[in-house]
Amino acid sequence: MNPIQTKAKAAGVNLDRLPVHIGMIMDGNGRFAKAQGFARLWGHHKGYKTLRTALLDCSDLGIRYLTVYAFSSENWRRSDDEVAGLMQLIEKSTRDEVPTMMRNNVRLKVAGRLKELPASLQEAFQFAVETTAANTGITFTLAVNYGGRAEIVDAVRDLIKSGVPADEVDEACLSRKMYLPEVPDPDMILRTAGEMRWSNFLIYQAAYAELVVTDTTWPEFKQEDLFAGVIEYQSRLRKFGGVTG
């Protein structure tokens, strides 16, 4: 066991029953900033540092897939300054973190309507995805300009363009048209800042995911919160619509 796994086991995590794929809704950056007397963008920068740590913690713990809600398709409604700042932050962090991802065997993927993003951000994503493509550790997906409903619409459009007859459309067929069909469905969705909503995140894939909510805001999220979330997940009886006992 590595040091993270040793700490997790001591905290009560069953290392033999880890979720394969965790989705994270990183909520509360703005509220955290406001509580500290700073602008919302300051909170997003703090949240980026939290994400960097959380990714490496998940990797060391043994999580195989981590998908995070970095920028939703609804986030365009925010102020021009905040949106521009977020685009710059995502681009800079993507470029800056490539060496870290290479050192830690992290493979990056990106999901969303990427063609609507600034050209320089698209280029940063392409570089990072291609550079890390051969890595075999945790698969880290950034959901950017992402919406669960939009993903379903895009999948249906793709089916129609492909000429698939209506009577041949089933769940397996639709799943193959999602943004990242090779990534397994999430076992657990972890949301910070106490909100009890999916917020249009992986709504097709997360049909049977366990929702775990923590009251702490995302910039305050710590390793202990990750462990507590996994322990809560492991306490659930997952029946997938069936009956046990």
Could you tell me which CATH number the domain at 16-100+109-234 has? 3.40.1180.10
Short-list 197, 194, 35, 21, CA closest to 109:
21
Residue 238 is predicted with a pLDDT of: 72
Catalytic one among 2, 14, 27, 135? 27
Residue 242 is predicted with a pLDDT of: 61
Task: Check if the beta carbon of residue 135 is closer than 8 Å to that of residue 105.
Answer: yes
Beta bridge partners of 142: 68, 110
Residue 186 is predicted with a pLDDT of: 98
Residue 146 is predicted with a pLDDT of: 97
pLDDT in tens, the chain (245 residues): 999 999 999 999 999 999 999 999 999 999 999 999 999 989 999 999 999 999 999 999 999 999 999 999 989 999 999 999 999 999 999 999 999 999 999 999 999 999 999 999 999 999 999 999 999 999 999 999 999 999 999 999 999 999 999 999 999 999 999 999 999 999 999 999 999 999 999 999 999 999 999 999 999 999 999 999 999 999 998 766 665 55
Catalytic one among 2, 57, 60, 75? 75
* Residue 135 bears catalytic tag: no
Short-list 28, 30, 32, 4, CA closest to 18:
4
How much is the CA Rg of the chain, to the nearest whole Å? Answer: 18
Task: Check if the beta carbon of residue 91 is closer than 8 Å to that of residue 47.
Answer: no
CA separation, residue 156 to residues 125, 176, 202, 240 (Å): 25, 11, 16, 25
Q: Which residue has the tokens 């280029």?
A: 123
Residue 237 is predicted with a pLDDT of: 81
* Residue 75 bears catalytic tag: yes
Domain ranges for the chain, please list them.
Answer: 16-100+109-234
